[in-house]
Amino acid sequence: MTFCCIQQRYTYLRPAEGASFGAQISGNTDLLDYSKSESVTIVAYSPLLAGAYARTDRQFQSQYLTHETDRRLKTLNDVAVECQATPNQVILAWMMHSDPPVIPVFGASTMQQMDENLGSLDVHLSEEQMKRLNE
């Protein structure tokens, strides 16, 4: 039996080593390597962490607060400014431009959120920006 896709919790911030999300398992480097070598698509759920990247009333879960969180958020925000996009749009574009590509599954409570998320389809990240986001 061959798998065609794997649905996994996955976002731009990396969870702490050994972080637990209960029954949910977070995507990691091993999953990305497997996906690439086996041509299996990753379908990412919770890519925008329930609005934590954009909303001041939402906090990042403690599992995502690591020594690299501030640096990764700065890079994300810098690239968003360069692209004249929102951080959410950059995250979704980053996933779709990744190797292997990741299909983000997102929700929206308003048409404004839906429009913002769909705007990620118009965000084109350069190789240099992808490299910075991945590092």
List, in order of start, the domains of the chain with CATH numbers: 5-134 (3.20.20.100)
Distances (CA, A) of 95 to 2, 13, 18, 89: 23, 12, 23, 10
48 near 88, Cβ under 8 Å?
yes
Start-to-end Cα distance in the chain: 35
pTM for the whole structure: 0.92
Interatomic CA distance for residues 66 and 26, integer angstroms: 15
pLDDT tens digit sequence for 75-122? 999 999 999 999 999 999 999 999 888 999 998 999 999 999 999 999
Q: Report the mean per-residue pLDDT for the chain.
A: 92
Residue 36 burial (CB < 10 Å; 0-12/13-18/19+)? Answer: middle
Q: Is the pLDDT of residue 20 over 90?
A: no
Q: Between β-strands 102-105 and 5-9, what pairing exists: parallel, antiparallel or unpaired?
A: unpaired
Considering just the CA atoms, what is the radius of gyration of the chain in Å? Answer: 14
pLDDT for 1 equals 67
Q: What is the pLDDT of residue 107?
A: 87
Task: Report the pLDDT value the prediction gives residue 17, as an integer from 0 to 100.
Answer: 85
Is 23 a residue whose pLDDT tops 80?
Answer: no
SS3 42: strand
Element (H, E) at 44: strand 41-45
